[in-house]
Structure formats: C-alpha cells, structure tokens
Amino acid sequence: MKKKRIFGSAVLSLAMGVSMFATGAFGATTPESQDTYRVLIQGPSAEKAKVQEQYGKRWDFGNQGFTAEVNSKQYQALLKNKNIDVSQVGIHTIDARVEGNGNGKGKDKGDYTVQASYPSDQTPWGIQAIYNDNYIQSTSGGDGIKVAVLDTGINRNHIDLTDNVEQCKDFTQSSPLVNGTCTDRQGHGTHVAGTAVANGGYDGAGIYGVAPQSELWGYKVLGDNGSGYSDDIAGAIRHAADEGVRTGTKVVINMSLGSSGKDSMIASAVDYAYSKGALVVAAAGNSGPYANTIGYPGALTNAIAVASLDNAFVNGTHRVSNFSSRGNPNTDGDYYIQEKDVEVSAPGGGIYSTAVDGNYTTMSGTSMATPHIAGLAAKLWSSNKYWSNSQLRSEIQRRAKLYDIKGGTGAATGDDYASGFGFPRVK
Ligand SMILES: [Ca+2]
Ligand SMILES: [Ca+2]
Ligand SMILES: [Ca+2]
C-alpha cells in the first residue's frame, strides 16, 4: 500500500452538484431561477444610457449592447420600452457526463482536509494516444503558454494542478469579475484542466496532462449546476484575450461547453479573441451521432471544434464516439473550415483525470476531447512562440491529416463531418 499524498492542510468547502449527468449537454436549465432575468439591451446609445442609469449594467459590449440583471417587473417594463430591444441572455452547459462511481448524488462532503490518493494510471489512454506512445511515463511542454479554461472553476489545490495556476477568476458572481477565486464545486472544470496541464504533482507520482509546463488560468464561467450565462462567457473570452495582450503571451482558450444556438455576444467575443492572437478551442457537443448536431461556440469558424474519440478501433483507426456531435455533411470533405464543421478529433470517451476532491475520476464527453487539443496547442506553441494563432491552427490541421479517422458514424476517408481533418498528435 502506498502512502496517501497529503497537500498541506488546506480546507475546501465542497458540495458536489446533482446535475453532473449532462449527457445531452445542451440543457435548458437556468443557473438562477426565481425572479431574475439576465437581459441584453440593444438600441441607440442615448436610449441605452437611460436604461443603464435605471437598471445598471453587467457587461457592456459596445455596439452590441449591454447586459443587466433585472426582476420580472423591470423586465416587463423593458419589454414595453419601444426605444430599445430586449432579449434574454442564453445559457451554455458543460459537454460531459461522469462515469462509474462519480454519480454526484448525495456527495455533500462539507469541509475536509485535502488528502489525495495516487492515480491508478499516470498517463491515461488519451495521453498515450495523443503522444502516440503506449509506454509514456510522463509528459512535457507548454512552457510560457497560458491555457485559459473557461468552465465550472478549478480546484486550485489539487496536487497535480496547483503549481500551474497563475490566474483564478470568477465571472459568475453579482460583480461580474472577481479576482482570486475560481472555486469548482461541480468537478467538470478541474477534470478538463487536468487533461490539458496536470503536471504529475510535486512528487511526480500524480497524473499528467498534455502540456504540464503551461500556466493555467482558471476562469469560472459556469455555476455549480454546470450552466452559465453567455454574457459572462463572452466577457471571460474577451478578458482572456486582453490578458494575453497585456502580458505579451500566447493564450489558448479552452471551452468545454456549448449550446445548440448561436449567441451573438459569444460569436463576436470569439472573433475578438482570435483577432488579438488567442487560439480558441471548443467542444463539438454531445448530441451525436446525427448530422448537424454540432453546438456553439465550437461551430463558429474562429473556434476549433473538437469531436470525441473512443479507446476503440474501427476501420483501423480510433472510432468517433456515438455521443459526439456531428457537423454539416454538406461542407465536409474540402479540408476547409466553414461554420458548423467539425475541425479535429481527440480522446473523449472514458477519460481519467483530476477530480475536484483532490483525487481522480473518469468522465466522457467532447468536454474531455477539447483539452487534449488545447494542451497540444500549448505544447506546439511553446516550441514555436513566433507562430501566430493561425499558423498554429494550420499546424494542428496538418497533424490531424496525418492520422485520418475512419471509424464511427459519419467518419470516412479524408475530411468528414464526424471527425473533421483527423486526430492531431505530438508525433
Ligand atoms: Ca469551428
Ligand atoms: Ca469544410
Ligand atoms: Ca476521416
């Protein structure tokens, strides 16, 4: 029996949510119920200013309008205002489900000392696959690159993550940006972050992600039920891009979240981030295997949509997971990215990674595939820091073509609507 790994005596307040089975991914649950309406207000500047004076603002997106939180009475009054357009802000949800014992039910553990066990596998199958090395013992790379994980937050005290955490910010509070806190009470964000950047811990006995030397920016944009408002997500995307500019560093933005509908605030935030040099990677969604089920923001042209692969082989290649959302069959085959195209694939079925309680757990989803690509991006960028984001993206696409995926519904030889260009790897 190995000794327990103990990390200081940090005490975490933990209350695991009960909504972890987000298999369908794009649920319609509101993060806050009762009498609260999150609204986007658009119109002439003078009219917007009047409304802002009355109701305050949360995010101001300039010409696109601003958002605010109002009660139902105020909402009704806004709807009657002929000088402005009012619409409710959309909801985005995590793209994963938990497997095995992590069902999230009745797991309110309260405060306790972090006491981590050793992982049963330090380099899970997805790491072996993306490194194309079945005997890999540890990983390396990512030095100097920032990986912004926009998710349910992270457990910044996890032994295998703590040294990587450089920023920790919460975009879900009543004040739209709280610095220094990013508590994950759901587990999804901690798991996603681990796949991208886990570093094996101080003793090297923990789990490894794809790019363990990257710096982690934990941006909490989703609440404890795994859902969040699109204005907060848009604000966080813009903030990550601005922080890249401010610090003069390359930023990879990982969004293992989605919605079936296109959101204007997120779409323009993704365009903005791309124009500022960030690389945006997003989950394809978990609504497969039918065509045109791809979710946003992955479906946007400036976000790399990542499909999920299983640890199983069909037609001599990894198989696209059944749950993985498919792109548009009318625009595949051309090795050119249009809106609603899947771009690349990566391991997402049965992925073992860091758990919010300081241990390890297995989850499945395009949520788990996405950080494999974000980690790969960070690793490649760290050895080629002069590359622009579009040069990096071309390199990822080139590597994807080297491993064409032919297994699973919709997958075929060449660029296809299930797997995109293929599975890009380290070597
Ligand atoms: Ca896309
Ligand atoms: Ca295409
Ligand atoms: Ca293919």
DSSP codes joined into one string, 147-171: EEEEES-B-TT-TTTGGGEEEEEE-
Distance 5 CA to ligand 3 centre (A): 43
Q: What is the mean pLDDT of each run of 10 residues along the chain (427 residues)?
A: 50 28 37 79 96 96 96 95 96 78 36 66 98 98 98 97 98 97 97 98 97 98 96 98 98 97 97 98 97 98 98 98 98 98 98 97 97 99 98 98 98 98 98
Alpha carbon distance 276, 349 (integer Å): 33
User: Ligand 2: distance of its center to the CA of 235 in Å?
Assistant: 29
CA–CA dist 382, 373 (Å, integer): 14
Catalytic residue check, 151: yes
Distance from residue 370's CA to the centre of ligand 2 (Å) = 19
Which amino acid is present at 210?
Answer: V
Q: Residues with Cβ within 5 Å of ion ligand 1?
A: 303, 305
Cα-trace Rg, the chain:
21
CA of residue 272 to ligand 1 center, whole Å? 15
Q: Which of 151, 332, 341, 357 is catalytic?
A: 151
| 427 CA to centre of own chain | 24
Q: Could you tell me the residue ranges of all domains in the chain?
A: 36-89, 93-402
Ligand nearest to C-alpha 343: 1
Give the pLDDT score at 7. 52
Ion ligand 3 residues within 5 Å by Cβ: 404-405, 416
Is residue 346 within a helix (H) or strand (E), and if so which, with residue range?
Answer: strand 344-347
For residue 328, which ligand has an atom nearest its CA? Answer: 2
pLDDT of residue 212: 98
Ligand nearest to the CA of 420: 3
Residue 301 CA: which ligand is closest? Answer: 1
User: Can you give the pTM of this predicted structure?
Assistant: 0.91
Q: Which residues of 337-348 are buried (b: 16+ CB within 10 A; e: fewer)?
A: bebbbbbbbbbb
Active-site residue 188, yes or no? yes
What per-residue confidence (pLDDT) applies to 99? Answer: 60
CA of 106 from ligand 1 middle (Å) equals: 37
How far CA 244 is from CA of 26, 147, 160, 220, 248, in Å, comes to 30, 10, 24, 17, 6
Ligand nearest to the CA of 271: 1
pLDDT of residue 17: 26
Using the mean position of ligand 2's atoms as its centre, give its distance from the Cα of residue 417 in Å: 8
Q: How high is the pLDDT of residue 35?
A: 87
Q: The tokens of 295 are what?
A: 């979710």
Per the residue annotation, which of 95, 160, 170, 188 is the catalytic one?
188
Q: Which of 268, 308, 367, 419 is catalytic?
A: 367
User: Is-contact 216 16, C-beta < 8 A?
Assistant: no
Find the 421 Cα to ligand 2 centroid distance in Å.
9
Concatenating the DSSP letter of every residue in 67-90 gives: EEEE-HHHHHHHHH-TTSEEEEPP
Q: Check residue 5 and give its pLDDT.
A: 73
What is the CA(327)–ligand 3 centre distance, in A?
13
CA pair distance 410, 225, nearest whole angstrom? 32
Query: How remote is the CA of residue 331 from the centroid of ligand 2, in Å?
Result: 4
| Ligand sitting nearest the alpha carbon of 408 | 3
Does the domain at residues 93-402 carry the CATH identifier 3.40.1800.10?
A: no
Expressed in angstroms and rounded, the spacing between residue 197 Cα and the centre of ligand 2 is 30
Assigned token pair, 364:
């499945």
For 331, other C-beta atoms within 10 Å of its C-beta total: 15
